[in-house]
Amino acid sequence: MTNKVVIGAQWGDEGKAKITDILANRADFIIRYQGGCNAGHTVVADDVTYKFHLVPSGILYKNKFCLIGTGTVIHPESFKAEIDELKQQGVDLTGLKISSLASVTMPYHIEADGYNEEHAGKGKIGTTKKGIGPTYTDKAARIGLKIQDLYDEETLSEKLDVILPLKNKILSKVYGLDEYSKDCIIDLCKKYAEIFKPYVCFDLQKFLYEHKNDNILFEGAQGVMLDIDWGTYPFVTSSNPIGGGAAVGSGYGPKMIDDVIGVAKAYVTRVGEGPFVTELNDETGKHIRDVGHEFGVTTGRPRRCGWFDAVTMRYAVQAGGITQVALTKLDVFDTFKEIKICTAYKNIRTGEITKYYPTDVYTHKYFEPIYETYPGWCSDISKVREYDKLPKNAKKYISRLEEILEVPISIVSVGPDREQTIWRK
């Protein structure tokens, strides 16, 4: 038995869902351990495209349990929309469970996210406006609601007596928005309780105990560079997408983790604000976006694109605890004559060259990328299924990345479909 964690090794959208989906085939139990419906995960199986936000992508296989874990934040209406769409596509949700300790995103969290984004001026993060930051803020401030609270009238009433006066003061006095009456929130909570009811795991400890010997796959969202502690703070999300986050958000300890698979695109993308040293604001960047269809699943926003940044990725390997890499979207370079890897940063103020990631992101504007250039392969690799059959130049690119990152690239993805995957021995 090897329990694996799948994490994003860049700024999200690396193709985690595709990798989770193919690894889920070999797992018994899949746990999504952090984030909320800010995530947009795409799986293509048998020419059908499935879009996930909170439901683990392992749900596409029958007879497996899929838990939306304690470290997640759940917006009830978005969750309902997601499961309704999956049901319409014929997906069997029998194995879906929700931790009774997961946090609930309330309407005032979404209002706060929108307000903060609109009034932050230069401090704008470019969030997904799904209320993620405010929900985690309330959790940390110990004024959040847990799924289990929705089913206990007395606790809910007591909690709302503390939460609502605080929330209403902020909503009306700071944001200039309408206040919520307690009756209105209680009615909403009744509605939410109905939405979650078929899935809530009230006997959480028993459930986790009974499944501790399963082959477990921990599914992360976002990516190391969006981690609240290790990412490009403050231009990050509000949870811990790093491998260690799996131990925090799932209910199982770090000793349960055997492998951390860091998913990375053959280039880099980012949505929202924040530094991005290898960003290409030119025709090449536009070309990567067009060929790679780099537009957000959750918000539809065009993704910023750039060459592979091995400086941040080496950092992500370390902070994320990555033991193996799944390299995705290599096929996007099929028509490129040249491909670049950023192997170091040059500080334009001091002339100093470093291969170590500068953790003060406010200095990133003073760094320029130093590239190694590799010839492209100028052929279609989307039908290749064996590593040895990849063109020589594609293998050279992969080998060089492995050498720099100091971890094996064990999976190479050459298209969105499940089948378009190369497993390395």
The residues annotated with a catalytic role in the active site are: 13, 41
- Residue ranges of the alpha helices (H) in 141-227? 153-169, 182-196, 204-210
Q: Which stretch binds Mg ion (CB under 5 A): 8-16, 63-71, 105-113, 320-328?
A: 8-16
Number of residues that bind ligand GDP (CB under 6 A): 22
If one asks whether residue 135 binds ligand IMO (CB under 6 A), the answer comes out as no
Q: How far is CA 404 from CA 23, 56, 215, 303, 307, in A?
A: 25, 32, 31, 26, 15
Shortest Cβ 10–ligand GDP spacing (Å): 9
Token couple for 73: 């934040």
If one asks whether residue 289 binds ligand GDP (CB under 6 A), the answer comes out as no
Q: Which stretch binds ligand IMO (CB under 6 A): 195-203, 216-224, 308-316, 342-350?
A: 216-224
Number of residues that bind ligand IMO (CB under 6 A): 23
Closer to ligand IMO by Cβ: residue 8 or 56 = 8
Token couple for 70: 């304690």
Angular region, 272: left φ>0, alpha ψ -120 to 50, beta rest: left
d(CA 298, CA 425): 35
d(CA 270, CA 311): 16
Residue 98: contacted member of ligand GDP, Mg ion, ligand IMO, none (CB under 5 to 8 Å, by partner type): none
Closer to Mg ion by Cβ: residue 111 or 273 = 273
Closer to ligand GDP by Cβ: residue 272 or 358 = 272
Site for Mg ion in 37-76 (CB under 5 A): 40
Residue 127: contacted member of Mg ion, ligand GDP, ligand IMO, none (CB under 5 to 8 Å, by partner type): ligand IMO
What does the buried/exposed string (b/e) look like for 40-61 if buried means 16 or more CB atoms within 10 Å of the residue's CB?
bbbbbbeeeebbbbbbbbbbbb
Count of beta carbons in the 10 Å neighbourhood of residue 127: 23
Q: Which stretch binds ligand GDP (CB under 6 A): 36-44, 65-73, 105-113, 360-368?
A: 36-44
If one asks whether residue 237 binds ligand IMO (CB under 6 A), the answer comes out as yes
CA 343 to chain centre: 25
Q: Which amino acid is at 54?
A: L
| Bridge pairing between strands 103-104 and 73-74 | parallel
Report whether 19 contacts 6 (CB < 8 A): yes
d(CA 221, CA 197): 24
In sequence order, what DSSP letters do the residues of 215-231 get, joined into one string?
A: -EEEE--S-GGG-TTTS
If one asks whether residue 53 binds ligand GDP (CB under 6 A), the answer comes out as no
If one asks whether residue 38 binds ligand IMO (CB under 6 A), the answer comes out as yes
If one asks whether residue 40 binds ligand GDP (CB under 6 A), the answer comes out as yes
If one asks whether residue 413 binds ligand IMO (CB under 6 A), the answer comes out as no
Shortest Cβ 361–ligand IMO spacing (Å): 13
Site for ligand IMO in 268-327 (CB under 6 A): 271-272
Q: Which stretch binds ligand GDP (CB under 6 A): 174-182, 224-232, 345-353, 407-415?
A: 407-415
Which helix (DSSP H) or strand (DSSP E) does residue 219 occupy?
A: strand 216-219
Report whether 147 contacts 167 (CB < 8 A): no
Whose CB is nearest to ligand IMO? 272
If one asks whether residue 111 binds ligand GDP (CB under 6 A), the answer comes out as no
Q: Which stretch binds ligand IMO (CB under 6 A): 10-18, 56-64, 346-354, 367-375?
A: 10-18
Residues 6+ apart with CB under 8 A from 355: 310, 311, 314, 343, 344, 345
If one asks whether residue 8 binds ligand IMO (CB under 6 A), the answer comes out as yes
From the list 97, 93, 87, the residue with the least C-alpha distance to 32 is: 97
- Report the sign of the C-alpha dihedral through residues 399, 405, 407, 413, in that order: negative
From the list 317, 320, 339, 319, the residue with the least C-alpha distance to 329 is: 339
Residue 38: contacted member of Mg ion, ligand GDP, ligand IMO, none (CB under 5 to 8 Å, by partner type): ligand IMO
Binding test (CB under 6 A) with ligand GDP, winner from 5, 145, 414, 422: 414
Binding test (CB under 6 A) with ligand GDP, winner from 231, 285, 358, 415: 415
- Interface residues with ligand GDP (CB under 6 A)? 8, 12-18, 39-42, 44, 297, 328-329, 331-332, 413-416
- Interface residues with Mg ion (CB under 5 A)? 13, 40
